[in-house]
Amino acid sequence: MLFRSESEFRNLSNQTKSSPTESLQSLQNKQSELQDRVQKTLEQLGQLKKDNQALPQPMDFPNTQTFEQNVKQSMQQTQSELNKGNTSGASQSQKQTAEDLSDLQKTMEEAAAESQEAEQSVNIQQLREIIDAVLQASFRQEDLMLQIKKLNISQPQIREISRQQNQMKMDIKTASDSLYALSKKAPQISPKLRKSLSGIQHTIQQSVQNLVNGEFPKSALNMQTTMTELNNIALLLQEGLEAMQQQQRQQIDRKSTRLNSSHMSESRMPSSA
């Protein structure tokens, strides 16, 4: 919306400058129409800031007050020049409005890009922690499976292994809940992986039941299945992590390109001697 208004103000500035014979009323009508649209956009921006502050965890929002004030002042200056019949001055202030809108839009875009980068970094760290939890569960499951194969039905370790299995089931549920929350923010994470983790919890419960019943081979088979599924999920999560890291690198490259373009534009500006 701001980009469109910026372009329209530039076009109107050229019209005002190159068509001094056009009626002032027509120019004033066009100016008023654009001003009304920009004013509504600024009001929506203000409401967005209020809504953001009402959130339990407000997002970082850029301070755009100065840019907004510059836009309003340049639009008021245009109206003043048109009222005086000074089309040359009105054209200059319209051009200034376009530049002020451009500054405002760039500030918003840069803030949005920085917010996305920050959120992506948090998402990547969370996914790393989930992958680590899944792998640790796989290692623990392998260790318990090896213990099962050495057990006799009368050995007291059965209760301890059952306790560890139940603890593992709770840990996997925690990882599953974290993965579900992350999948809402990161499209690289398939929601189906959460269902797979839920299925693993059921398999672990079966292993405990078989263990209590003295069905050690069946319990060991359940554990083998659990370990295999955990490893498969870890591989899929690793693919998602690599995709997120690739997206993060692209965001950084785009930011670097924008900064370089901005510096080049500033270097071309004539010095005010």
Do 169 and 133 contact (CB within 8 A), yes or no?
no
- Return the top range by mean pLDDT from 30-44, 80-94, 163-177, 191-205: 163-177
pLDDT at 273: 37
117-165 residue pLDDT tens: 888 888 999 999 999 999 999 999 999 999 888 877 666 788 889 999 9
Q: Please indicate whether residue 222 or residue 272 has the higher confidence score (pLDDT).
A: 222
**Average pLDDT, integer, range 192-198:** 84
Output DSSP code: residue 60: P
CA 267 – CA 261 distance, rounded (Å): 10
Mean pLDDT of all residues belonging to the chain: 84
Instruction: Determine the average pLDDT of the residues in 102-126.
Output: 86
Rounded distance, CA 97 to CA 83, Å? 17
Determine the average pLDDT of the residues in 109-114.
Answer: 82
Residue 20: which pLDDT band, with cuts at 50, 70 and 90? low
pLDDT > 70 fraction of the chain, expressed in percent and rounded: 89
**Residues ≥6 apart with Cβ < 8 Å to 182:** 123, 126, 127, 130, 189
Q: Which residue carries 């990882």 as its tokens?
A: 175
At residue 202 the predicted structure's pLDDT band, cuts being 50, 70 and 90, is: very high
Q: Does residue 261 carry a pLDDT above 80? A: no
Considering the entire predicted model, what is its pTM?
Answer: 0.70
Give the range with max mean pLDDT: 23-37, 126-140, 173-187, 252-266: 126-140
Find the mean pLDDT for residues 163-181: 92
Task: Check residue 271 and give its pLDDT.
Answer: 45
Phi and psi (nearest 5°) for 69? -65, -40
Contact by Cβ (8 Å): 189, 176? no
- Give 162-225 as a DSSP string: HHHHHHHHHHHHHHHHHHHHHHHH-TTS-THHHHHHHHHHHHHHHHHHHHHTT-HHHHHHHHHH
What are the C-alpha distances in Å from 183 to residues 22, 80, 143?
57, 53, 30
Question: What residue spans of the chain are helical by DSSP H?
Answer: 2-18, 24-53, 65-83, 87-148, 157-185, 192-212, 216-268
- Per-residue pLDDT for 268 more than 60? no
Lowest mean pLDDT among 39-43, 51-55, 235-239, 253-257: 253-257
The CA distances from residue 121 to 118, 188, 200, 252, in Å, are 5, 14, 29, 12
Supply the DSSP symbol for 64. -
